[in-house]
Chain A
Amino acid sequence: MTVLPSTRTNYPRRTPPRLDSLWADPVVAPIERVGAHVGGLGDPGTLLLSGPAPSPGGEGLVSHLSRWGTVPGIDGAGVRALLRASALDGRGGGGFPLIRKVETALLGGGLPMLIVNASESEPSSRKDRVLCAHRPHLMLDGAALLATALGVDEVVIHLHRASGSPASILEAAISDRRHRGLADPRWRISTGPDRYVSGEASAVAGFVDGGQARPRFTTLPLAVEGPSGRPTVVSNAETVAHLAAIARVGPDAWGSLGASSSPGSRLVTLTGAVPQPGTVLELAGQATIGDALAYQGLTDPPAAVLIGGFAGTWVLGEEAWQTPFTRAALQCLGAQPGCGLIAVLPHGACALTETARIVRYLAGESAGQCGTCVAGLPRLADSCEAIARGSFRRRGIRKMTALADAVLGSGACGHPDAVVRLIRSTLDVFEDDVVRHLAGKPCRASDHPPVLAVPRADHAIGRGDTREWE
């Protein structure tokens, strides 16, 4: 009988997950096929990642200013015009146009609050960390511009406490800027608990307001009224870095780096069965997932890739290889760019086992607030593990899908929905495998050692659990 690698019993409990130790150091790597139209501003290969090679303190202010110049003096209306012309979309996962958040926040009452979310809760994602650690000034420039667009003079940068946090690098960068006398807003660095749902926008906003880093139930968008009562804009670190680039190269040149459906370049993180998991690449134009993997030396499509995060969508390797990493192209496969994670499943590994590990982890990462999420996710994880083990009955599938339907849309945040999406995509893409497992004949692949660096599912959950949220 096969044993699942990450069921609760197989791992020692109570050990806090050391996310750091699971991955190699991030590598900043330019990808060559990016258009030369940004050549004047730095390495013609990339936009956000262009510049000097990775160094411990990140790119210094002198180097940054010599490459990009100071932030152009644009007023709020000008920045909003840039946002509108570029149609910059959020890169944290939701893909929501930034201009709509900004305009909504300006419509509402009171002074808006601006939070740059660099917490990157997705355990294998590295793009925001790489950006903050290696190009801190580009991110800060973008945050300053967004503050101008909102007419606010304070920016909160939210990070997670652990996992190689770039907090010290950002602090050094901020003090350099102050010495240099740059016209910046006031910066405030906030560090919160390192948990999956703590990076959700309402959790971040609530934590910054002095509460726990758990999602809030909201009847109005944060941009209308955040936990503090003020309109709150939470924007991802990569998104604001793009804004800094747009202000320099112009929305047209920036847009032409992408496809018409998803303008601009895009940062992705490779993980799973690649030579250097944790590598961050910048993809532009019609760069395919195959191109990204070929950069890491892969020559043939893998068995499958999980796109957009752990709670993402599985796509068969053959299909994914040819697919540009753009919103429209991924949509054809039922996938979304999400946080830009590309997790590679090699041939010979078992997608059902990997999914079961992920679902168990995600179930443990519930914020323990909403009944159906607390009760339903562990049950779904049980089912996924039973399928992977080959001990699930065919009848169980109907129950499981009914459970998934009940869980969908039941929470205050999108966490349960994301888990259901992952499960549905697994049942859909790996139908043949599921049928074999249901017949009690899991393939040999289910003995394959774990491929994806899923943290241990060892968080105790339950209502009223207030540990680790402050």
Chain B
Amino acid sequence: MSVEIRIDPILCRGHAICALFFSDGVDLDQWGFGKVAVAVVDAPRDIRRARRAAAACPNGAFIVRERSQDLANAPARPHPESSQPVA
């Protein structure tokens, strides 16, 4: 399994707490705002760290998503028009 990590820059208040839990995965800038260093994490240990960082972020800015939620794998729900042949 692999997860994708994102930091919502609008919610992030630069507490840098995420970096305490997952220092390899986060770059902090000079103000302490986090920027993800690795977007996709697959080592189980790192996944655990990423999840802990997400749980610790006071603003819910640290987002861990399972890769299966990806656009490419998203189940296609029927749309009134999508059943028509696309040609």
Chain A residues packing against B (C-beta within 8 Å): 75-77, 80-81, 103-104, 106-112, 150-151, 216-217, 219-221, 224, 369-373, 375-376, 403, 406, 409-412
Contact = CB atoms under 8 A, between A and B. Distances in A.
A80 B4 CA distance: 33
B45 interface: no
16 contacts: A76-B81, A77-B85, A77-B87, A104-B71, A107-B79, A150-B81, A217-B8, A219-B6, A224-B74, A370-B9, A370-B33, A371-B31, A372-B31, A375-B31, A376-B29, A410-B9
Nearest to B84: A77
A219 B7 CA distance: 10
A295 B39 CA distance: 48
Interface range on chain B (Cβ under 8 Å from partner): 20 to 34
Given A219-B65, A372-B33, 8 more contacts: A76-B81, A107-B74, A221-B71, A370-B33, A376-B29, A406-B29, A406-B35, A410-B29
Contact of A107 (B31, B76, B80, B87): B76
Contact of B10 (A104, A369, A406): A369
B82 A106 contact: yes
Q: Majority SS of interface residues in chain A?
A: loop
A107 B82 contact: yes
B16 to A, nearest CB: 11
Contacts of A224: 71, 74
Contacts of B30: 403, 406
Per CB-CB distance, the 9 closest pairs between chain A and chain B, nearest first, are A109-B77, A151-B81, A370-B9, A371-B33, A406-B29, A369-B10, A217-B8, A106-B82, A107-B76
A224 B70 CA distance: 11
B8 A412 contact: yes
A370 B81 contact: no
A217 B9 contact: yes
Contacts of B13: 371
B33 A217 contact: no
Contacts of B33: 370-372, 375, 410
Contacts of B12: 370-371
A371 B74 contact: no
Contact of B9 (A103, A106, A219, A373): A373
Interface of B: 6, 8-14, 29-31, 33, 35, 63, 65, 71, 74, 76-77, 79-82, 84-87
> Which residue, of B30, B79, B80, has the highest number of chain A Cβ atoms within 10 A?
B79
Contacts of B8: 217, 412
A104 B8 CA distance: 23
A220 B11 CA distance: 17
Nearest to A223: B71
A409 B81 contact: no
A376 B9 CA distance: 13
B58 to A, nearest CB: 14
Nearest to A148: B81
A305 B32 CA distance: 37
Nearest to B29: A406
A369 B77 contact: no
A404 B85 CA distance: 48
A108 B81 contact: no
Contacts of B84: 75-77
Given A76-B81, A372-B29, A375-B31, A412 B10 contact: yes
A76 B86 CA distance: 9
Given A107-B79, A217-B9, A372-B9, A80 B86 contact: yes
B81 A410 contact: no
Given A109-B77, A151-B81, A371 B9 contact: yes
Contact of A106 (B14, B29, B81, B85): B81
B28 to A, nearest CB: 9
A151 B85 CA distance: 14
A412 B63 CA distance: 14
Nearest to B80: A151
B82 A219 contact: no
A265 to B, nearest CB: 27
A373 B79 CA distance: 39
A204 B46 CA distance: 37
Contacts of A103: 86
Contacts of A219: 6, 63, 65
Given A77-B86, A108-B77, A409 B71 contact: no
A375 B32 CA distance: 11
